[in-house]
Amino acid sequence: MNKIIFEIKNIYKKKRDEINKRLEQFRNIWQSKNEQAALQELIFCIFTPQSKATNCWNCVKKLSENKLLFSNNPDDLLKLPEINYVRFKNKKAIFAIEAKNKFIKDNKIVLLKFLTGFKNALEMREYLVTNIKGYGYKEASHFLRNIGFVNDVAILDRHILKNLKLMRVIKTIPKSLTKKKYLLIEEQMQRFSKKIKIPMAALDLILWYKETGFFFK
């Protein structure tokens, strides 16, 4: 057996309860219709490209604590010291406000309510990729997983791609991810997930844990 596969199976065996607890936290956002938590995740996934996820989440938490989630002024967001750890902060602050405004009605967040109008997760993901600036398939998949709506999409960041290559799920790491390439690798990862009997959402968390030593988002 490939040593990486052996390692992730061992992590899953030892950390299954912790993994399931984290996935339950995600599912609770959707099941409880926690609109504010969903909006935080929407913004978090705008911030994450080319930035450390922990820094991005610290920034989102500070936005919430300082009651800036509803601000329409990018300068308000840029005053937070935490946003200095988010790459391309000026552009992402604007993207966050534009995204938020799509899901505010009568001063209320209606993000989850809006998403219930889609037939399935794939249709929902296409909408997000097309309409949320800063979102590609990775970010849209990350968001949908983090709000607990779907568990079988791939979040193809560089760490995941590196490990997929090491485990021989893919032959090479693509220089760029077109829609066609993303969906092909996602399908390959889904088949691999079934083969080793580790759910996709758990596999993503395990590969993150393998790289960092802790579970996150």
Position 111 in a domain: yes
Last residue of a domain, one of 146, 169, 187: 146
Same domain (yes/no): 122, 50: yes
Same domain (yes/no): 158, 138: no
Owning domain of residue 105: 32-146
Helices and strands (H, E) in the chain, number of each type: 11, 2
Same domain (yes/no): 38, 133: yes
Number of domains observed in the structure of the chain: 2
pLDDT tens string, the chain, 217 residues long: the values are 688 899 999 999 999 999 999 999 999 999 999 999 999 999 999 999 999 999 999 999 999 999 999 999 999 999 999 999 999 999 999 999 999 999 999 989 999 999 999 989 999 999 999 999 999 999 999 999 999 999 899 999 988 999 999 999 999 999 999 999 999 999 999 999 999 999 999 999 999 999 888 888 8
Give the type of residue at 111: L
Same domain (yes/no): 62, 158: no
Position 119 in a domain: yes
Last residue of a domain, one of 146, 165, 190: 146
What predicted TM-score, i.e. pTM, was given to this entire model? 0.94
Position 106 in a domain: yes
Q: Based on the residue annotation, tell me whether 14 is a catalytic residue of this protein.
A: no
Same domain (yes/no): 170, 90: no
Position 197 in a domain: yes
Can you state the percent helix, strand and coil of the chain, rounding each to 5? Answer: 65, 0, 30
Same domain (yes/no): 112, 66: yes
Q: How far apart are CA 11 and CA 17, in angstroms?
A: 11
Note the Cα 199 to chain centre separation in Å.
Answer: 16
Position 217 in a domain: no
Position 198 scores a pLDDT of 96
Last residue of a domain, one of 102, 126, 146: 146
Position 119 scores a pLDDT of 86
Q: Based on the residue annotation, tell me whether 157 is a catalytic residue of this protein.
A: yes
Position 217 scores a pLDDT of 84
92, 138, 204, 217: the catalytic one is 138
Same domain (yes/no): 117, 104: yes
Same domain (yes/no): 205, 168: yes
Same domain (yes/no): 113, 8: no
Assess contact for 28 and 148: CB atoms under 8 A.
Answer: yes
89, 92, 157, 204: the catalytic one is 157
